[in-house]
């Protein structure tokens, strides 16, 4: 079955460490996204990528980095520069955008929960 796999599901980090969250999809989607969700809050966009070897900053990119070397993979690195990294991180992908279509559905991975000790 096609889908998005995020790993690890739970991750603990010491202050000052960089950590990388994995996101892999076999849906053949070009567009991939990383969101952050804090308790009781909505989703905030960190980075997105429309195509391989291209990515753009979202609303809260500071302290994060990404790469898109393969269509299937969009890893997110939470760097030590991110001052408050404890959150639920969600990766998502979407098929090519179609005008006025209900087919532009975003599919999410199960998420990675990062806690800073």
DSSP letter, residue 70: B
Residue 33 binds to other proteins (criterion: CB under 8 A): yes
- The correct pick among 15, 16, 100, 117 for binding other proteins (CB under 8 A) is 100
**Quick one: which segment of 19-27, 45-53, 62-70, 71-79 binds other proteins (CB under 8 A)?**
45-53
Three-class SS of the chain? CCCEEEECCEEEECCCCCEEEEEEECCCCCEEEEEEECCCCCEEEEEEEEECCEEEECCCCCCEEECCCECCECCEEECCCCCCCCEEEEEEEECCCCCCCCCCCCEECCCEEEEEC
Residue 62 binds to other proteins (criterion: CB under 8 A): no
The footprint of other proteins on this chain (CB under 8 A) covers a number of residues equal to 29
**Quick one: which segment of 11-19, 43-51, 62-70, 76-84 binds other proteins (CB under 8 A)?**
43-51
**Residues interacting with other proteins, by CB under 8 A?**
31, 33, 35, 41-43, 45, 48, 50, 54, 56, 88, 90, 94, 97, 99-111, 113
């Amino acid at each position: 079955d096609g889908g998005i796999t995020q790993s690890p599901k739970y991750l603990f980090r010491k202050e000052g460490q960089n950590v990388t969250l994995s996101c892999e999809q076999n849906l053949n989607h070009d567009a991939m996204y990383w969101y952050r969700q804090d308790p009781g809050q909505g989703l905030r966009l960190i980075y997105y990528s429309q195509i391989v070897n291209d990515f753009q900053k979202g609303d809260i990119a500071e302290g994060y980095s990404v790469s898109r070397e393969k269509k299937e993979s969009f890893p997110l690195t939470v760097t030590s520069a991110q001052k408050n990294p404890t959150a639920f991180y969600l990766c998502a992908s979407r098929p090519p955008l179609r005008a006025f279509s209900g087919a532009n559905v975003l599919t999410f991975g199960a998420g990675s929960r990062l806690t800073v000790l």
